[in-house]
Structure 1
Amino acid sequence: MKKTLIALAAIAATGAAFAQSTVTISGVLDVGIKNVNQVKPDTAKMSVGSGNNNRVAFGVTEDLGGGLKAMANAQMRFDPTTGTPEAAGARPLFQGETRVGLSGGFGTVMLGRGLTALQLANGGNSDPWGVTTVAGSVYAAGFATDYAAGGEGRIDQGIFYTAPTINGLTLSLTMSPRKVATAAVAAAPAVADAGGVQGTNAVSAVAAGSSKTSQSVNLTYAAGPLVVGVGNERNRANDTITQVYGNYDLGVAKVFASSATIKGGTAEEQRLGGTFAAASSAVNTGGTTKQVAAGGKIKNWTVGATAPMGAATLRVGYSVWNGNGAAGQQDDNKFGMGVKYDLSKRTFVYTDVASQTRKNNSYNADNSKSNTKVTSFDLGVAHSF
């Protein structure tokens, strides 16, 4: 009888141990219709696309005892309109995240691929949309920190540390020791748009060499309705971004604000917030591509608000982008507004309109013409699981 009880106790203990592990599968499906005027000739004004990043994520948490936990996360991205990987396969299968690590009284340490400290914190805290709808603010998007595949604020072979929160303060650090050799880029003159064919900006000569290590630091303070943060980041091309951001929940509305400065380290070598292109140093600003010269500087600020009204949430934002680059002064002003309506805890519909004034002389990532006013509209439905 005693042996039986011991065996039963062992089985129960084993079952309890297994119960300490949690596996989750989650994701988002978002598809909508978008209309953008002033597009490139032979390019459709209307398209079917998405606002949120469509994804499937897998997460594992295991309680190791003594306050220590093991964690692993993997997130793949895809295009719901075609069923293919995000960006037509130009990015990794698990574009979103692939990290494993430990969490305890010392904080959290993760290794792998994921968002940098600054980019993980600032998106939802600085933009009323937090996702890429047509009305999303023109703000300082993340660096593409990996030459082989556009990072969009992520790094490969990364080390991620988040310290324990003390009196509302949370410090996060990210770095990657990986360096990538860069090939020389020859100088080339600008080519004007002609006959419906998109021209190109002038390319500055870049000497062959080795890239820098990537690093990011962010400090966030959260207390009740207030969230404020400041961060600094450097990518492998030695471009840097410094950003201050925050939001305050008034109850009837939540207000957002941010201010950022980007400095170009190496001309024509790195896209910021987009897929890497050997002869393009750019910033992806909600569909707009900006050139950043070596030693050039871009300043950006945004303001916005969200207001809940029953199942609906109204969203409004205004942003300004001023800077200098290879093609001269680059300016961008944008006003957006929209509404999100919750059909359930997991499903919502949304619609947005935006008016954007662009002042440069090329077509943008969404094929709209610069140096003009661009109006956009979207209507979509999203479901999370």
Structure 2
Amino acid sequence: MKKSLIALAVLAASGAAMAQSSVTLFGIIDTNFGYVDNTNAAGDSKYGIGTSGNATSRLGFRGVEDLGGGLKAGFWLEGEIFGDNGNASGFNFQRESTVRLSGNFGEVRLGRELVPTYRKVSSYDVFGQVGIGMFQGWSNWAGVGTADANGYRQSNIVSYYTPNFSGFTAGAGYGFDEQATGKEGRYAGAFGAYDNGPLSVALSFDRRNVGALGAGTKDNLTVGGSYDLSVVKINALLQQAKYKDVGAASGKYNSYGLGLTAPVGAGEIKAQYVMYDQKAIDSKAHQFALGYVHNLSKRTALYGTVAYLKNKDASNMALQAKQVSTTGPGAGENQTGVQLGIRHSF
């Protein structure tokens, strides 16, 4: 009898421990038909099946363990997949690979992830930083070979996110360069944000050491905000990327975006205009995008996006159409693109 009671107690304790931890498999498959004209200086057009036009296709695992007393440990492993070819180059966890510890103090993360300065402020892009309509301010403007020079992610990073203080949140991160010589790839940045009802605003600043041995720097200063009027939501992004001491590419690149989203039945209309003032080459580009997302269910949607990019002077920017590669239409030339696809999440 006593052995039975002990066995039951062990099983109950084991069940309680298991209930305090969980692992979740999740992902998104987003595949589309895409067409882009003037994909190169020769004026050639390209079309085909592409990926990630409305959301980045991904596969991931995340888990959390309740340690008691408000303290939790967790992990996040996430990699990109391609709906058109299954990711011929091989699957990895380059999107995110972190271990976390959270509590009343906030959350600390170690590993590789979106940098804190990008994670919050990029949310004001109405196209979610994917597809031909996306805001392209986070570009590797100078073309330096430094890893993650576009400013999205960072390896070897320790980051901290505060709790929510009546709508105020903040975050900061430091990415180690781990170089034997120099400091190429080193990152440091922070953001502050305020969310209250229909209003949301955020400010971020970061610096990344770029170029040979990290002798140069890329500074990103970004302000973003949105206001939800119920019938329409207004989003805005203002950004300056400033390079120093990286040769002829030194200079400023300013980006200004204004976007609108409006619910329509089971779907949503998106529109965005972005002006890229490339002061380093004394040139501008204008990007116009219009899209519609129709939700078939909570997990599945159909979408369509059309975008037009007008380059001026020496500007040779291109629409971001994954898997329908483009090198740019040529200095001062224009480009038009279309994406029609389906997105399914699980």
Same fold (TM over 0.5): yes
Question: 3-state DSSP class of the match of 1:374?
Answer: strand
Give the letter for the 1:45 counterpart.
Answer: K
CA distance in 2, matches of 1:176, 1:170: 21
- Please name the residue that 2:82 is paired with: 79
Tell me the number of residue pairs that the alignment of Structure 1 and Structure 2 aligns. Answer: 328
TM-superposed CA distance for 1:222, in Å, is 0.9
Question: 3-state DSSP class of the match of 1:352?
Answer: strand
TM-superposed CA distance for 1:311, in Å, is 0.8
Q: Show the 5 A alignment for 1:58-73.
A: 58-73=61-76
Residue from 174, 178, 191 that aligns with 1:218: 191
- Please name the residue that 2:126 is paired with: 128
- Please name the residue that 1:354 is paired with: 307
Percent identity reads 32
Q: TM-score, normalised on structure 1?
A: 0.79
CA distance in 2, matches of 1:352, 1:83: 23
- Please name the residue that 1:13 is paired with: 13
CA distance in 2, matches of 1:349, 1:35: 17
TM-superposed CA distance for 1:44, in Å, is 4.2
What value does the CA root-mean-square deviation take over the aligned residues? 2.5
Residue from 249, 258, 280 that aligns with 1:293: 249
1:256 and 2:254 correspond: no
Q: Show the 5 A alignment for 1:320-359.
A: 320-325=275-280, 328-359=281-312
C-alpha contact (below 8 Å) 1:239/1:266 kept by paired residues: no
- Please name the residue that 1:200 is paired with: none
Q: TM-score, normalised on structure 2?
A: 0.87
CA distance in 1, matches of 2:229, 2:5: 58
1:54 and 2:14 correspond: no
Residue from 368, 376, 383 that aligns with 2:328: 368
C-alpha contact (below 8 Å) 1:137/1:336 kept by paired residues: no
CA distance in 1, matches of 2:95, 2:13: 36
- Please name the residue that 1:277 is paired with: none
CA distance in 2, matches of 1:213, 1:32: 36
C-alpha contact (below 8 Å) 1:28/1:383 kept by paired residues: yes
Question: 3-state DSSP class of the match of 2:209?
Answer: coil
Residue range with higher mean Cα deviation, 10-19 or 304-313: 10-19
CA distance in 2, matches of 1:213, 1:353: 37
Q: Show the 5 A alignment for 1:57-206.
A: 57-84=60-87, 88=89, 93-124=92-123, 126-141=124-139, 147-148=146-147, 153-180=152-179
TM-superposed CA distance for 1:4, in Å, is 3.5
C-alpha contact (below 8 Å) 2:200/2:226 kept by paired residues: yes
1:236 and 2:209 correspond: yes
Give the letter for the 2:338 counterpart.
Answer: F
C-alpha contact (below 8 Å) 2:284/2:315 kept by paired residues: no
Q: Show the 5 A alignment for 1:302-321.
A: 302-321=257-276
1:246 and 2:225 correspond: yes
C-alpha contact (below 8 Å) 2:257/2:274 kept by paired residues: yes
Residue range with higher mean Cα deviation, 5-14 or 296-305: 5-14
C-alpha contact (below 8 Å) 1:338/1:351 kept by paired residues: yes
CA distance in 1, matches of 2:180, 2:292: 46
Question: 3-state DSSP class of the match of 2:118?
Answer: helix
Structure 1's 345 and 178: CA in aligned 2 closer, same or farther, altered over 3 A? Answer: same
Q: List runs of 5+ in structure 2 lacking aligned partners.
A: 211-216, 319-324
- Please name the residue that 2:321 is paired with: none
Structure 1's 100 and 34: CA in aligned 2 closer, same or farther, altered over 3 A? Answer: same
Structure 1's 180 and 148: CA in aligned 2 closer, same or farther, altered over 3 A? Answer: farther
Structure 1's 30 and 367: CA in aligned 2 closer, same or farther, altered over 3 A? Answer: same
Structure 1's 148 and 293: CA in aligned 2 closer, same or farther, altered over 3 A? Answer: closer
Give the letter for the 2:333 counterpart.
Answer: T
CA distance in 2, matches of 1:321, 1:363: 9
Structure 1's 78 and 145: CA in aligned 2 closer, same or farther, altered over 3 A? Answer: farther
Structure 1's 306 and 42: CA in aligned 2 closer, same or farther, altered over 3 A? Answer: closer
1:39 and 2:18 correspond: no
C-alpha contact (below 8 Å) 2:290/2:307 kept by paired residues: yes
Question: 3-state DSSP class of the match of 1:236?
Answer: strand
Give the letter for the 1:217 counterpart.
Answer: A
Give the letter for the 1:378 counterpart.
Answer: Q
- Please name the residue that 2:342 is paired with: 381
Q: List runs of 5+ in structure 1 lacking aligned partners.
A: 183-208, 269-291
Give the letter for the 1:383 counterpart.
Answer: H
CA distance in 2, matches of 1:242, 1:98: 26
TM-superposed CA distance for 1:323, in Å, is 2.1
1:227 and 2:200 correspond: yes
C-alpha contact (below 8 Å) 1:145/1:236 kept by paired residues: no
Structure 1's 74 and 313: CA in aligned 2 closer, same or farther, altered over 3 A? Answer: same
